[in-house]
């Protein structure tokens, strides 16, 4: 049978956690863990030995069965975004070497790969030996600023280590009911939001779409969301107040604006937990269930994770809460490298084995981390100063008329880069007024040189602002 239950990745499928008929409810479809295991084992028997299994990752029970089936069989799972275009889809399928694609009942076959439909009513009582921890669990594709998406190789041991560290940090147990409505082709929605429940034994409610009404109606104890979700919840007072019975509200995938943090805390009585991670590292830093939750901060490294800040000259940056540096991480949650990309691997690791996140951050004397943003777009070098875009964005959001803001460094012949702010604002506030507002709160050199008022900011499915689009505009 292989490894014992304590060494298995999906511990809760082994029994001993209770198994209600609706232990998992995915977009309205209820399943027990036993039924999930039977259907997933039947699928595992079909895909065993394949080089990789692609899964058209819609928020459905079919997706969960296919992912679990691939993991049971020890076949690397390649989540395919359902909105990916033909070029991106072809690249992911070809680069990953996926020979099979699992789809739901209403999905059409995809050219270039053997497509099959997931059967929710299938059942097998067979079993598979647990694959070794160093085996690849997922090939997760992540886009950079240039080139085709890269496939990050996520090992089974990294997933287990990360989920166990998060369970400790968030006091996540089988007594919880986890609620979220996040996409199932990212770390947040799939690894944390599905496998987390199947490892801790908590119930899972995936709402399909992450609407305030759906979150309020789910009556969970643990909620996951991205800033866009929490912003909408905070704007719906009735739905927000319905979350007062929840134990933990977790925000990630992008910085949570301080005004949203404060509104959520006021309406629910629960200050949100913020955490930081990447596809390549999984989640590495978080505030704690039993610790301080500081607006704008993602807290402390998880158990087993080490972090450091370095400057452009590769020397250590002081942990003074002010000095910006590139965040580097080490520990058991890191990926095993990019598939077929030795060039990217060489660029991503330091000589002494630390992963270069490409994010810039500050760390306080107490160890609390604050993420400034991506080095490529959020570290602005203007007139000899190094300016974190996140700090300027936070200052702008403090203005009562500002609903949202994004700051970029636009090329400037005099300054090198000029601070340009794109702002979603209510009322009759002007760009000059916002510039003055920032200059009163931050160093004068950090003020926006130009403010562009817009109706909305471009964002991806996880709520992250697409700053490259803003740079193109700037």
At residue 178, what are phi and psi to the nearest 5 degrees? -85, 130
Question: What average pLDDT does the segment 73-95 reach?
Answer: 91
Query: What is the pLDDT at residue 257?
Result: 83
Range name among 56-70, 272-286, 314-328 with the lowest pLDDT average = 314-328
CATH architecture group of domain 5-177 = 3-Layer(aba) Sandwich (3.40)
H or E stretch covering 260: helix 258-268
Question: What average pLDDT does the segment 168-176 reach?
Answer: 97
Range name among 279-283, 338-342, 425-429, 449-453 with the lowest pLDDT average = 425-429
Predicted confidence (pLDDT) per residue in 185-231, tens digit:
999 999 999 999 999 999 999 999 999 999 999 999 999 999 889 98
CB 41 within 8 A of CB 124: yes
**DSSP state letters, 377-390:** HHEEEETTEEEEHH
Residue 170 corresponds to which tokens in the numbers above? 């968030």
pLDDT higher than 50, residue 1: no
Q: pTM of whole model > 0.75?
A: yes
CA dist 280 → 145, 250, 351, 353, 436 (Å): 16, 20, 18, 14, 39
pLDDT higher than 90, residue 262: yes
pLDDT above 90 covers a percentage of the chain that reads 72
Question: What average pLDDT does the segment 314-337 reach?
Answer: 94
Residue 208 corresponds to which tokens in the numbers above? 């399909």
At residue 304, what are phi and psi to the nearest 5 degrees? 90, -10
Closest CA to 57 of 197, 254, 201, 206: 206
pLDDT higher than 70, residue 5: no
pLDDT higher than 60, residue 151: yes
pLDDT category, 413, cuts 50, 70, 90?
Answer: confident
Query: What is the pLDDT at residue 382?
Result: 85
pLDDT category, 6, cuts 50, 70, 90?
Answer: very low
Query: What is the pLDDT at residue 144?
Result: 57
Residue 391 corresponds to which tokens in the numbers above? 């700090």
pLDDT category, 2, cuts 50, 70, 90?
Answer: very low
Range name among 214-228, 277-291, 390-404 with the lowest pLDDT average = 390-404
Mean pLDDT of the chain: 91
pLDDT higher than 50, residue 3: no
What CA–CA distance (Å, rounded) separates 217 from 2? 41
pLDDT higher than 50, residue 441: yes
Residue 137 CB neighbour total at 10 angstroms: 25
Residue 63 corresponds to which tokens in the numbers above? 């997706």
pLDDT higher than 80, residue 383: no
Query: What is the pLDDT at residue 174?
Result: 96
CA dist 241 → 228, 232, 264 (Å): 18, 13, 9
CATH no. for 383-473:
3.30.300.30
Closest CA to 126 of 39, 62, 58: 39
pLDDT higher than 90, residue 387: no
CB 209 within 8 A of CB 226: no
pLDDT category, 430, cuts 50, 70, 90?
Answer: very high
Query: What is the pLDDT at residue 170?
Result: 98
Q: Which residue has the higher pLDDT, 8 or 222?
A: 222
Query: What is the pLDDT at residue 147?
Result: 64
Query: What is the pLDDT at residue 4?
Result: 38
What CA–CA distance (Å, rounded) separates 51 from 43? 15
Domain-wise residue ranges, the chain: 5-177, 383-473
Range name among 12-16, 118-122, 392-396 with the lowest pLDDT average = 12-16
Question: What average pLDDT does the segment 441-448 reach?
Answer: 85
Question: What average pLDDT does the segment 368-386 reach?
Answer: 80
pLDDT higher than 80, residue 474: no
Query: What is the pLDDT at residue 7?
Result: 67
Residue 114 corresponds to which tokens in the numbers above? 């053997």
């Amino acid at each position: 049978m292989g490894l014992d239950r304590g060494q298995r990745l999906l511990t809760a499928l082994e029994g001993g956690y209770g198994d209600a008929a609706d232990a998992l409810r995915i977009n309205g479809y209820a399943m027990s863990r036993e039924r999930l295991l039977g259907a997933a084992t039947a699928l595992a028997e079909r895909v065993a030995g394949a080089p990789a299994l692609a899964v058209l990752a819609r928020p459905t029970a079919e997706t969960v069965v296919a992912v679990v089936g691939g993991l049971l069989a020890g076949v690397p799972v390649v989540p395919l975004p359902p909105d990916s275009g033909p070029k991106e889809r072809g690249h992911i399928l070809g680069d990953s070497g996926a020979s099979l694609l699992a789809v739901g009942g209403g999905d059409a076959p995809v050219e270039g790969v053997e497509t099959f439909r997931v059967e929710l009513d299938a059942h097998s009582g067979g079993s598979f030996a647990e694959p070794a921890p160093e085996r690849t669990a997922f090939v997760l594709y992540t886009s950079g600023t240039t080139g085709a998406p890269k496939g990050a190789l996520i090992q089974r041991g990294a997933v287990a280590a990360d989920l166990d560290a998060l369970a400790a940090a968030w006091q996540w147990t089988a007594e919880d009911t986890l609620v979220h409505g996040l996409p199932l082709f990212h770390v947040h929605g799939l690894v944390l939001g599905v496998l987390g429940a199947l490892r801790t034994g908590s119930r899972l409610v995936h709402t399909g779409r992450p609407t305030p009404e759906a979150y309020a109606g789910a009556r969970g104890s643990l909620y996951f969301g991205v800033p866009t979700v929490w912003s909408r919840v905070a704007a719906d007072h009735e739905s927000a107040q319905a979350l007062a019975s929840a134990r933990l509200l977790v925000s990630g995938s992008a910085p949570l604006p301080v005004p949203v943090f404060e509104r959520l805390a006021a309406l629910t009585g629960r200050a949100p937990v913020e955490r930081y991670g990447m596809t390549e590292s999984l989640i590495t830093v978080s505030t704690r269930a039993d610790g301080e939750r500081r607006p704008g901060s993602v807290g402390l490294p998880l158990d087993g994770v080490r972090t450091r800040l370095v400057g452009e000259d590769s020397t250590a940056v002081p942990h003074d809460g002010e000095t910006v540096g590139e965040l580097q991480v080490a520990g058991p949650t890191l990926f095993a490298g990019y598939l077929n990309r030795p060039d990217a691997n060489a660029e991503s690791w330091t000589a002494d084995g630390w992963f270069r996140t490409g994010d810039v951050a500050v760390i306080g004397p107490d160890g609390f981390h604050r993420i400034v943003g991506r080095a490529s777009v959020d570290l602005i070098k203007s007139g000899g100063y190094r300016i974190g875009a996140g700090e300027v964005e936070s200052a702008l959001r403090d203005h009562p008329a500002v609903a949202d803001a994004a700051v970029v460094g636009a090329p400037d012949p005099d300054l090198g880069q000029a601070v340009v702010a794109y702002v979603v604002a209510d009322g009759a506030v002007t760009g000059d007024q916002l510039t003055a507002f920032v200059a009163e709160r931050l160093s004068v050199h950090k003020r926006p040189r130009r403010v562009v008022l817009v109706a909305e900011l471009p964002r991806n499915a996880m709520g992250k602002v697409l700053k490259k689009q803003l740079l193109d505009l700037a």
